[in-house]
Amino acid sequence: MEPKVTVLTLGVRSLEISRRFYVEGLGWKPLVEVEGEVIFIQVAGGQVLALWSVDELAREAGSVGHSAKAPPIAIGHNVDSAGEVAAVLKEAVAAGATLIRKAGATDWGGTNGYFADPDGFRWEVAHNSGFRVTADGRVHMGPTTD
């Protein structure tokens, strides 16, 4: 099995509310949308984010679901400068996100902050000067100094 992720499916409580945040709020254009069913948005080379009802997901994938705590994942979104972290968090909050951690220095030398989407899914907005992507899509990670 190759190390490859082609789809990241978020099981959401309400597709309508997710659509309002991601499509109308953030302005992300769906690659494919089946109204009331599923929304696909490209988010990396060869990869789409899928917004799908958590109840439908559970019918396929067994006992998955939301709980009192937010899901134990973080979806990272790197930006090109430390200053952009606060700006992107502000944009997300304006689109309906909840601010979880404001922009600040990290112990790994970069800058980050977190917001939660309508289902609590955590997004980390980060500047990491050691994270570089070459034209072929390869990631290179080295020392970070903001």
- Applying the rule CB under 8 A, the residues between 67 and 86 that interact with a second copy are 67-78
When asked if residue 145 is in the footprint of a second copy (CB under 8 A), the reply is no
Q: How far is the CB of 143 from a second copy (least distance, A)?
A: 11
Residue number, 17 or 26, with CB nearest to a second copy: 26
Adjacent-strand bridge partners of 124: 76, 114
When asked if residue 116 is in the footprint of a second copy (CB under 8 A), the reply is yes
Measured CA to CA, the distance from residue 73 to residue 68 in angstroms comes to 14
When asked if residue 100 is in the footprint of a second copy (CB under 8 A), the reply is yes
Residue number, 78 or 129, with CB nearest to a second copy: 78
- One of 20, 86, 124, 129 touching a second copy (CB under 8 A): 124
How many residues are there in the chain? 146
Name the residue among 23, 9, 105 with its Cα closest to residue 52.
9
Q: How far is the CB of 42 from a second copy (least distance, A)?
A: 5
Sign of CA dihedral 34, 118, 24, 10: negative
Q: Pairing state of beta strands 7-12 and 47-53?
A: parallel
When asked if residue 141 is in the footprint of a second copy (CB under 8 A), the reply is yes
- One of 36, 101, 105, 109 touching a second copy (CB under 8 A): 101
Which of the 8 DSSP states describes residue 22?
I
Calculate the dihedral angle through the C-alpha atoms of 76, 77, 83, 84, rounding to the nearest 10 degrees: -150
When asked if residue 143 is in the footprint of a second copy (CB under 8 A), the reply is no
- One of 14, 16, 24, 31 touching a second copy (CB under 8 A): 31
When asked if residue 14 is in the footprint of a second copy (CB under 8 A), the reply is no
Measured CA to CA, the distance from residue 6 to residue 43 in angstroms comes to 10
